[in-house]
Structure formats: C-alpha cells, structure tokens
C-alpha cells in the first residue's frame, strides 16, 4: 500500500512539472501629448499645467495614504504651487503612456494610461454620454462577472480634469494574466480634459500601492500577485520613441544589458526611493534626495530652489513657473545616481524641445515646482534612459542600462 502511495505522489509531481507554467508577457505602449503647439514647439504654459497636475495627483494620493494608514506619507511642503506579459506602449508624444487591458465576461479590450504614480483603475461607463465620446465604453451590465459595490468615486486634478461614477468589481486580464473581483471605477462623467482629443486612452490603470488608493483597493497588478496569477511579482517598463512596452510578471532580457541596480522603496505608498546625487557636467549639485518613480509624469521635477541651483551652473534662463531655456546646441551632461550607480541622461531626452520662433532655444527636461517639498519626481525624461523593474515582492525598484 505504501509503494502505491509513493508511486501516486511521484506521478502527481511529474504531472505538475509537465503542466505549462505561466511566463511573463508584454504589452506594447504608445504615448500622446498636449504639451506641444501645432507647429511642434513646446508650450511652456502646458508644461506648467502638467507640473501643477502632477503635484495635485501625488498630494491627493498622499492624503489617501494618511486616511488609509493614519501616517503622513511625506511632510507638507512649506510652499504651494503657483496657481498660474508584454504590453506594447504607445507614446501619447510626451505626456501619457498607454497600452491595453481586457475587462469583463466576455472580455472586452480597452486602452489604459499606465501610471506608477497612482493606484486606482477606472473606465468610462454607459451613462457617460457625450463627455466620453470617442472612448470605448465599459458596460458592467454586459458582463456576467461584474458586481456593484454600492459606492461612488471621484478623482480630480488641479488642471480641471475630473472623473466620477460608481465602483464595481469584475474580471480583468492584463497581458494575458487574469484577476477576478478587481475593483474598478465606472465613470458616469469625464471632464473635457479626459475627452478623446486630450486623453488618448479610454481609462487609467494605476500601479502604485494600495495605501494611496482612493478606492481603498489593490491595483490590478497587486491583485494578480495576491491571486498567484503571475510567475513573478514584478513588472517592468521600457519607455522610448519606439519599442516601448510594459512587461508583466517578469523582465524582458532583450531590452537591457548588464545587471540591475536596486534601491529599496522607503515608503509603501508610491514607488518612493532614496537617491544619491544629481549632477551636471560632472558636478554633483544635489546630494541625498528622495524621489518618486512615476511613469505618469513626463518631466523630472524637483523643488524650485534645487532646480534653480542646477540650471545656475550652466547659465540657463528662467522663463517662469519652474521652466528653463538654454541654447539647443548646448545641452549639458546630466546624471542621476541611484544605488551607487550613475545613470546618464541623453541630450535627446533632456532636451524637451524648441521654444520660441528662432528654433535655436530649447527647454530643459528638469522643472521646478513648490507643491511637494523636497521630493523629486523621476518621470519620462529619466525613465527613457533606463530599463526599470518594479519589484512588488521585494518592495524595490531596479534600473539597468538599455540594450
């Protein structure tokens, strides 16, 4: 009898080994922007609005963190902003990265803004009407797995953008990995800023921690992890002018070279880490800083006093609102040191584009704001230079050189 049991166990073990194991998959990403004018020049006013919107997004998440945990995520600033699988990613041209997600039973495909600077997931709903014209609408009544939670939601940004509606749970599939009972917002109203001409995706998918969720819910990826749906509890981004992707459940070894440099998350709200230094032309100007790694922010943002120190070393011109200009042919060598390794910013990524009619003046990709205290935000201007892995299981962020 014992030999039979041993044989049965051995057979079951062999069956488990033989079963196909989940593998990481990718989603292509694209990007679209409203930060440029019709003639291709950078619009400083739009940049200032983007700064204000980013600060408001992160402050709102910090308020949710304090409400959810009873602890302040970061200290209140002394100054406030001036009023004035792989999934390919699309370039929404320097503002939002968006890919695809499937929702409901049967599954329907939607485009979503992939944002590591927030947590919640929402889509336009059937009662959104003209406000959601041009977007694909998610109808929970058409899904056999949708369940209402009996609660409403509202998300608001300082640039005036707003979405409001009802909370549901439903089945969600990201890069082929399926989560059940995922909380999502079904919008009954999108403001003009979320209209299809201003917002390329149908909805937004946050990828930060549950503690900054206004819904009080896990992100889609965290749900996948908690349900054991992904092979590894990591996701990774390559953000570039082409070949951009979100890798789900692992990393894409073809997109990076060398090893990862890891930095631990210092506070599980945003993907907040400690940085070593920021330098220009070989001189370290900022030492020992705290930063949030945010795919939902286009630029690198810092407190205006630190940013002014950086630009003072290269005699850049302050054009107001934390934005600086310099000759297009005089881009500096900028580096950011994380985990003891220095990562260089290419001139192409630091140069945010031409400003003014001459075509000889450009705007720098580091901007100043007064809404987040000493926190820095590492957005696309930095992330386009590295392959970035977000490790949920080990609560850390890793950076590697692009292949």
Give catalytic residues, as residue numbers. Answer: 115, 294
Query: How many Å apart are CA 202 and CA 205, to the nearest integer?
Result: 10
Using alpha carbons, select from 148, 27, 164 the residue that is nearest to residue 97: 27
Q: Residue 279: how many CB atoms within 10 A of its CB?
A: 21
What are the residues whose beta carbons fall under 8 Å from the beta carbon of 162, sequence distance 6 or more?
A: 154, 155, 156, 189, 190, 191, 193, 194
Q: 61 is written with which tokens?
A: 């998440």
183, 210 in Cβ contact below 8 A? no
Q: Is 140 exposed, middle or buried (0-12, 13-18, 19+ CB in 10 A)?
A: buried
Q: Exposure pattern of 103-133 as b/e (b: 16+ CB <10 Å)? A: bbeeebebbbbbbbbbbbbbbbbeebeebbe
Report d(CA 356, CA 152) in Å as an integer. Answer: 45
Q: Which residue has the tokens 């079951």?
A: 12
Tokens of 259: 């090893």
């Amino acid at each position: 009898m014992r030999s039979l049991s041993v044989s049965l166990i051995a057979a079951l073990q062999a069956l488990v080994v033989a079963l196909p194991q989940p593998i990481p998959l990718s989603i292509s990403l694209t990007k679209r922007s409203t930060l440029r004018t019709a003639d291709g020049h950078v619009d400083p006013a739009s940049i200032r609005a983007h700064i204000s919107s980013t600060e408001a997004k992160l402050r709102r998440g910090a308020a949710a963190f304090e409400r959810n945990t009873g602890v302040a995520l970061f200290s209140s600033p002394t100054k406030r902003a001036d009023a004035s699988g792989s999934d390919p990613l699309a370039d929404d041209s320097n503002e939002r990265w968006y890919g695809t997600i499937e929702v409901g039973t049967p599954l329907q495909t939607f485009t979503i803004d992939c944002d590591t600077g927030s947590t919640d997931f929402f889509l336009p709903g059937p009662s959104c009407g003209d406000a959601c014209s041009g977007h694909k609408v998610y109808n929970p009544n058409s899904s056999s797995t949708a369940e209402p939670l009996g609660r409403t939601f509202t998300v608001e940004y300082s640039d005036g953008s707003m979405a409001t509606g009802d909370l549901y749970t439903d089945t969600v599939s990201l890069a082929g990995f399926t989560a059940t009972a995922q909380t999502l917002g079904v919008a009954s109203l999108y403001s003009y800023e979320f209209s299809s001409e201003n917002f390329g995706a149908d909805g937004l998918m946050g990828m930060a921690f549950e503690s900054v969720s206004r819904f009080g819910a896990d992100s889609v990826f965290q749900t996948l992890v908690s349900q054991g749906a992904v092979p590894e509890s990591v996701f990774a981004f390559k953000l570039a002018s082409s070949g951009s992707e979100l890798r789900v459940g692992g990393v894409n070894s073809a997109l990076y070279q060398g090893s990862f440099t890891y930095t631990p998350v210092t506070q599980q709200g945003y993907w907040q880490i400690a940085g070593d230094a920021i330098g220009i032309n070989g001189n370290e100007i900022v030492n020992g800083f705290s930063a949030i790694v945010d795919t939902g922010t286009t630029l690198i943002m810092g407190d205006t006093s630190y940013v002014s120190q950086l630009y003072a070393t290269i005699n850049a011109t302050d054009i107001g609102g934390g934005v600086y200009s310099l000759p297009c042919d005089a881009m500096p060598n900028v580096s950011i040191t994380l985990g003891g390794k220095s990562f260089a910013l290419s001139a192409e990524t630091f140069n945010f584009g031409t400003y003014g009619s001459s075509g000889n003046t450009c705007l720098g990709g580091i901007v100043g704001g007064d809404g987040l205290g000493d926190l820095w935000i590492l957005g696309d201007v930095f992330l386009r230079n590295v392959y970035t892995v977000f490790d949920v299981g080990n609560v850390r962020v890793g950076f590697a050189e692009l292949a």
